[in-house]
Amino acid sequence: MEEEAKFGLYPYRWVVLASFMFVAALTQLMWLNYAPITSQTQRLMGNISEFKVVLLATMFPLLYIPVSIPAGLIIDRKGFRYAVLLGAGLTAGFSFLRLFADNYALVLIGMIGISVGQPLVLNSITKLVSAWFPTEESALATGLATLSLFLGMIVALALTPPLLKSFGENNLGSLKMIVLIYSIAALAGFLLFALLGKARPPLPPKRTEEEVLGEEAAIDLKGLRAISRLHNFRLLCVIIFIGNGAFVGILQLIEKIMKPKGITTVTAGNIGAAMVVAGVFGCIVIPTISDRLMRRKPFVILAAFVAIPTLFLIAALEGVVQMFVIGCVTGFFLFSAFPIVLTYAE
């Protein structure tokens, strides 16, 4: 009984997780804010180039890697609550800067600021889970936190085009209105987590000794150098680089890819959303089979074997129904590799 008294399990853990999920979803919503309305954004912001619009979303993956190491140091030393509040504050604050939609430089600075805040939020998932959830609930809590990222992408792809259409596609004020709505949501996320996202429970959850030792490990340059010398780790980095590049490229350019096929902006956004929904199912089904068979590499190969030809089909086919079907197949297998390669990396 004395041993059990050292640990606690509190229903409030789900409140902390839910408030975090809201903030995490918003980071993805901001990332894909302009992706499904690239053509309209070009026109409304003064006929700027396609490259400039794509660059707005590209800042997120470009900055994620260099910012992740300092973000990890902040999370280790200050705790996940501090890091999430800082990231959510950057997201909300810089999002309002994008209201100056007729000034591309200010919009770009806004996206850069939001991009810097993203790793502070996303990299806090494991620390939050270890602080509030016992070992037997870790996978569920981590899975729900990751699911929130997909939900943010789905909302951005499916909601943004009809919102712009409802406000008026030929009016710069419509673009500002969308940014205002998303910025208010980001501010609400910051305030919600500040109010509900407590750093730790009165008593820690019960976790295995191996997990506790792993959670106490911190980032240092010696460890980074040791990992970088591993052949399999370098190979894994290349695989993730290519796979994530395909994933990011499709979602960022979904409207531009579909436009020459005669597919409307709203339908293109729905195709992207369907791809992400299929990816959510893929992240559940394929890793489950992988866990049961205790095999990783064959499923990464399977994902590549299916996803690569479907990417060519997305470029070649033109029918709306075909795009939905191929998009779902691509999303199911391409996204399913993500949790598997993360497990392999661990």
pLDDT digits (tens, 9 = 90+) for 232-244: 778 777 777 777 7
**36 phi, psi to nearest 5 deg:** -80, 0
Ranking 25-39, 150-164, 192-206, 323-337 by mean pLDDT, the lowest is 323-337
Mean of pLDDT values over 32-46: 90
Ranking 32-41, 183-192, 285-294 by mean pLDDT, the lowest is 285-294
Check: CB of residue 118 under 8 Å from CB of residue 87: yes
Cα 230 from Cα 240, distance rounded (Å): 16
1 pLDDT more than 50: no
Give the CATH fold of the 9-219 domain. Answer: Growth Hormone; Chain: A; (1.20.1250)
Average per-residue pLDDT for the chain: 86
Delimit the CATH 1.20.1250.20 region(s) of the chain: 9-219
Using the structure block, give the residue that is written with the tokens 């999303």: 331
Cα 46 from Cα 57, distance rounded (Å): 18
Q: Which residue has the higher pLDDT, 117 or 302?
A: 117
Query: What's the pLDDT at 311?
Result: 81
Cα 147 from Cα 24, distance rounded (Å): 10
- Helices 172-196 and 80-97: angle between axes, nearest 10 degrees: 160
205 pLDDT more than 90: no
226 pLDDT more than 90: no
338 pLDDT more than 80: no
Report percent pLDDT > 90 for the chain: 41
Query: What's the pLDDT at 237?
Result: 77
Q: Which among 317, 343, 339, 346 has a CA at the least distance from the CA of 329?
A: 317
Q: Which residue has the higher pLDDT, 309 or 22?
A: 22
The model's pTM is 0.83
102 pLDDT more than 70: yes
Q: Which among 330, 332, 333, 338 has a CA at the least distance from the CA of 311?
A: 330
19 pLDDT more than 60: yes
Check: CB of residue 340 under 8 Å from CB of residue 296: yes
4 pLDDT more than 80: no
Cα 154 from Cα 149, distance rounded (Å): 9
Mean of pLDDT values over 286-307: 80
List the alpha helices (DSSP H) in the chain.
2-5, 13-31, 38-44, 50-78, 80-97, 104-122, 125-132, 135-167, 172-196, 209-216, 221-228, 231-258, 265-293, 297-316, 320-345
Query: What's the pLDDT at 48?
Result: 92
CA distances from residue 180 to 3, 57, 176, 183 in whole angstroms, order as listed:
51, 18, 6, 5
Cα 152 from Cα 24, distance rounded (Å): 8
Q: Which residue has the higher pLDDT, 292 or 329?
A: 329
342 pLDDT more than 70: no
Query: What's the pLDDT at 302?
Result: 84
> pLDDT confidence of 22, banded at 50, 70, 90?
very high
Ranking 111-120, 154-163, 232-241, 280-289 by mean pLDDT, the lowest is 232-241
Q: Which among 321, 304, 88, 285 has a CA at the least distance from the CA of 193?
A: 88
Sorted by sequence, the CB contacts under 8 Å of residue 259 that are 6+ apart come out as 39, 265, 268
Ranking 95-104, 144-153, 177-186 by mean pLDDT, the lowest is 144-153
324 pLDDT more than 80: yes
Ranking 11-15, 73-77, 119-123, 291-295 by mean pLDDT, the lowest is 291-295
Query: What's the pLDDT at 2?
Result: 45
Mean of pLDDT values over 9-26: 94
Mean of pLDDT values over 299-318: 83
Report percent pLDDT > 70 for the chain: 92
Q: Which among 121, 57, 59 has a CA at the least distance from the CA of 251?
A: 57
